[in-house]
């Protein structure tokens, strides 16, 4: 049996989505999605790999689609991209790609502090209204999955995850 799964949803609902035989093998989420965040969640029973994928020094990218309350201006994007103070911690540089209107886009981070993206937008006097994880490392959200559905990862995806972590 493969030790990796792929789920599209939110929060702890992933446990209810799995068949009983997979609920019993000790799967856990690699990282978390905040209460109001949707999207890709990696499920695994490989603690060592999960730990490495989540270490900020491994620089594993996580990309989110966002919507925000106010349009982002060039200064906001520059601040977010270079790192902002989110309560005593300055975030690492990231990539912010707003749409033409500035009220939605994507943000790619390589760390995952508690409520990080929401706090980053608050630091530039804005507010996240919707957030969905679209990518985790080499994995992209499977468009064939509806919310609450899951699938096994392919061997190629598993190898890609193993290769996307920086070598210590």
Each residue's pLDDT tens digit, 134-162: 999 999 999 998 888 888 899 999 889 88
Q: What is the pLDDT of residues 3-29, one digit of tens each?
A: 455 555 555 566 767 777 777 787 888
Confidence (pLDDT) at 13: 65
Q: Can you give the pLDDT at residue 2?
A: 39
Q: Is 154 helix (H, G, I), strand (E, B) or coil?
A: coil
In this structure, what are the phi and psi dihedrals at residue 38, rounded to the nearest 5 degrees? -110, 175
| pLDDT score for 164 | 81
Catalytic one of 34, 85, 99, 146: 34
Q: Is 34 a catalytic residue?
A: yes
What is the rounded CA–CA span in Å between residue 102 and residue 95? 14
Q: How far apart are CA 116 and CA 95, in angstroms?
A: 14
CA–CA separation, 116 and 35 (whole Å): 13
Measure the CA–CA gap between 92 and 8, rounded to whole angstroms. 27
Per-residue pLDDT tens for 56-110?
788 899 999 999 999 999 999 999 999 999 999 999 999 999 999 999 999 999 9
Region of residue 48 (phi > 0: left; psi between -120 and 50: alpha; otherwise: beta): alpha
pLDDT at 12: 58
């Amino acid at each position: 049996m493969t030790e990796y799964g792929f789920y599209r949803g939110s929060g702890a609902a992933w446990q209810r989505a799995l068949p009983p035989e997979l609920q019993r093998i000790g799967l856990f989420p690699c990282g978390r999605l905040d209460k109001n965040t949707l999207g890709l969640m990696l499920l695994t029973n490989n603690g060592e790999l999960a730990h490495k994928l989540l270490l900020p020094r491994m620089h594993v990218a996580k990309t989110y689609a966002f919507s925000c309350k106010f349009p982002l201006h060039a200064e906001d994007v520059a601040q977010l991209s270079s790192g902002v103070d989110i309560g005593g911690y300055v975030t690492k540089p990231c990539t912010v790609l707003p749409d033409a209107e500035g009220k939605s886009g994507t943000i790619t981070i390589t760390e995952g502090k508690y409520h990080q993206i929401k706090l980053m937008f608050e630091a530039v006097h804005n507010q996240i209204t919707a957030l969905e994880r679209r990518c985790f490392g080499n994995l992209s959200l499977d468009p064939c999955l509806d919310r609450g559905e899951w699938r096994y990862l392919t061997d190629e995806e598993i190898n890609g995850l193993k290769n996307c972590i920086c070598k210590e």
